[in-house]
Amino acid sequence: MTQDTKAEVGGGIVVATMLIVLFIGIMFLWSPVSFYLSKWSSYWDESSVGQIIQGENGPYRELEEARIKAARECGNRAEKFFGVSPAQFSSYASSTDDTYEKYVCYAIKFTEIP
């Protein structure tokens, strides 16, 4: 065998090994991705999620109403604070609590409303 033939054979082995490693790596990476994508798809296909999204009576209806109430109160507080109508600014209530019992009201350039 000449030197060129040995280099070609060695290069072919290296390329084949790299392709096999790449294929196995893609299989391992794709497996978890497809698993979680199927979980995500089945989550949105459940009927209970559809009821919550459509606003029917569900376990999260009260939480959604609390969030809307907090946003409305925040708008009223911001209106009194700035003395202008809510159409001239946007406000929102931010809470780390799901029930919105405690929340922080923000408006115009992240101004915290007391």
CA 89 to CA 71: how far, in whole Å? 13
Look at residue 35 in the predicted model and tell me its pLDDT: 77
Residue 102 CB partners (closer than 8 Å, separation 6+): 95
Which of 65, 73, 52, 76 has the alpha carbon at shortest distance from 99?
65
pLDDT given at position 72: 87
How many angstroms separate the Cα of 35 from the Cα of each of 21, 39, 48, 50?
22, 6, 22, 22
Give me the tens of pLDDT residue by residue for the chain, a chain 114 residues long. 566 788 888 889 999 999 999 998 887 777 777 777 777 766 666 554 444 444 455 567 778 888 888 888 888 888 888 877 766 777 778 888 777 788 888 887 666 676
Question: pTM score, two decimals?
Answer: 0.45
The rounded distance, in Å, linking the Cα atoms of 20 and 67 is 53
* CA 35 and chain centroid, separation: 18
Give the DSSP H/E element, type plus range, for residue 36: helix 3-45
Question: What is the model's pLDDT at position 89?
Answer: 74
